[in-house]
Amino acid sequence: MAQKFLYLVDHFVGFPQSEYGGVWNVIAENDDECFDLICEDDNGQYEDCYVNLRNNIVKALRFTLADDLDSEVIDRFIT
């Protein structure tokens, strides 16, 4: 059983797609998996903003999970 984390990733998405960006809530084993899950969930919609995504993941709040849950994007809010 691998250790999993809940990531709260604040990520800017510029105008005209969004004025502020949003927050992704992701369960992942590590930063790389978190990045891949967000990109997969996003379907390339905000691909031009991925340049800062890795840094935002590194700076994200993360919480260690006690249970072994599936890795996934559990919620996202984009303005």
| Domain residue ranges in the chain | 5-78
Is 3 buried (19+), middle (13-18) or exposed (0-12) by CB count in 10 A? Answer: exposed
At residue 76, the pLDDT reads 82
| Model pLDDT for residues 6-60, shown as the tens digit of each residue | 999 987 655 555 566 678 999 999 999 999 999 898 776 666 667 788 889 999 9
Would you say 12 and 79 are in contact if contact means Cβ atoms under 8 Å apart?
no
> What does the block give as tokens for 10?
């604040």
Cα 53-13-73 angle, rounded to 5 deg: 55
Helix ranges (DSSP H) in the chain: 31-42, 53-59
Report pLDDT for 33.
Answer: 97
The model's pTM: 0.84
The confidence score (pLDDT) of residue 79 equals 67
